[in-house]
Structure 1
Amino acid sequence: MIRILTLICAVGLLFGCQPANKPPANESAPPKNQDVPRTERVKQTAPNRKQPDNPPAVADRLVKIATDMPQVERATAVTAGGYTVVGIDVDPTLDRGRVGTVKYSVAQALKEDPQGANALVTADVDTVQRLREMADDIRNGQPIGGVTDELANIASRIVPQPSKEVPKQEEPPSRVEQEKQNQTRNPKPAR
């Protein structure tokens, strides 16, 4: 019995005299009753690449983006005075709906580029030819003022401005007017 008591006391002393399992002072955890600050994920961004600011370089960049799209054979772009219009040449055998889909795809690809975000896209053959001539004129040193006016004219044709007058909405005829119209259309037979 004395041996059992001695054994129990020795085991108690061994477990009772062990130091508390505390982390070092510089790594101590905050007390449980305080709010723990939440960690937030921050999207890391790379520095923006310097984009060319001169209109011919912007136009060349947008042409490259447009020609990388499927079913676009050639493209031309003119940038002047805050306007950018991109003309695309597609296979002439494509139907009108498919051409619209290609134009939409090109416009979406251009929107992903900061300099093409507001660019207008056209596949009209005559307009694309005018754009091509304007791009040649710019490369040949023609003053940009005349080109800006013509480009604004093209842009207004691609995106027509809403008229200042709001069209009136027709109201349905009243019940009395409806009955009068029905009587004049279907007269009652004489008895």
Structure 2
Amino acid sequence: MRKWLVPAMLLCLLAAGCNTVARNETSPSPQNDNRVRAQQSSPQKKTIGNPKQVAAHLESLARKVPGVKGAHCVVFQNTAVVGIDVAGNVDRSRVGTIKYAVAEALRKDPYGINAAVTADIDLSHRLNELGADIRRGRPIAGFAEEMADIVGRIVPQMPRDVQPMRPEPQTQAKQQLNQHL
């Protein structure tokens, strides 16, 4: 009985797999689809041609939001990062609300649709410094310096990784000479 069971099952599976017949009524083709299709209603991201002008535009949009004291924007290729300054006495939930309002304002703009918004004081300050470096004509050096500072703050310092400073060889020779005299 077992001898016939495995071949019979294989035969059934094979027969079921070969039984698919193309039926026109099962799935309509896209050419015959008479349903209404909606266009994308949110603004599409535009290619940034003049980064300085776009940065100034996004900063002005962010400053118009109530609760924003200042805004700093850096545009790199086709991406913008906007740092906002809020009053120091504002509680965390209110800061989140202000940041959300800025994101809503930027969402309505084709240049700001994919911008990143931060309310972190340190990052906002670093964005300001990076923008100043870009205006001074040193975008790559300024970016590298600021990224090094940001990463340096993020990476923790582990006490076991700290090596005691060793005196330089010249200093050791001078100390030995002074001890003999």
For the aligned pair, the TM-score class normalised by the smaller chain equals 0.5 to 0.7
CA RMSD of aligned residues (A): 3.2
The AA in structure 2 aligned to 1:86 is V
- Where structure 2 has 5 or more consecutive residues not aligned to the other structure, the ranges are 1-45, 152-181
**Preserved contact between residue 70 and residue 85 of structure 2 (Cα < 8 Å):** yes
- Cα pair distance change 1:52/1:81, threshold 3 Å: closer
1:109 to 105, 112, 116: 105
- Cα pair distance change 1:107/1:145, threshold 3 Å: same
**Map of 1:1-191 to 2, 5 A cutoff?**
53-142=49-138, 144-146=139-141
**Preserved contact between residue 83 and residue 151 of structure 1 (Cα < 8 Å):** no
**Preserved contact between residue 82 and residue 118 of structure 2 (Cα < 8 Å):** yes
| Higher RCO (CA 8 Å, separation ≥ 6 residues) | 2
Per-residue displacement from partner, 1:22-73 (whole Å, max 9, x unpaired)? xxxxxxxxxxxxxxxxxxxxxxxxxxxx997211100000000000000101
The AA in structure 1 aligned to 2:140 is G
Instruction: Tell me how far 1:80 sits from its aligned partner.
Output: 1.1
Report the TM-score, using the length of structure 2 for normalisation: 0.53
- Cα pair distance change 1:133/1:148, threshold 3 Å: closer
Mapped to 2, the partners of 1:151 and 1:112 lie a distance apart of 29
Mapped to 1, the partners of 2:51 and 2:98 lie a distance apart of 25
Mapped to 2, the partners of 1:53 and 1:93 lie a distance apart of 38
Q: Which has the higher helix share?
A: 2
**How many equivalent pairs are there?**
113
**Preserved contact between residue 74 and residue 80 of structure 2 (Cα < 8 Å):** yes
Mapped to 1, the partners of 2:55 and 2:79 lie a distance apart of 11
Mapped to 1, the partners of 2:90 and 2:59 lie a distance apart of 21
- Cα pair distance change 1:145/1:82, threshold 3 Å: farther
Report the TM-score, using the length of structure 1 for normalisation: 0.50
The AA in structure 1 aligned to 2:96 is G
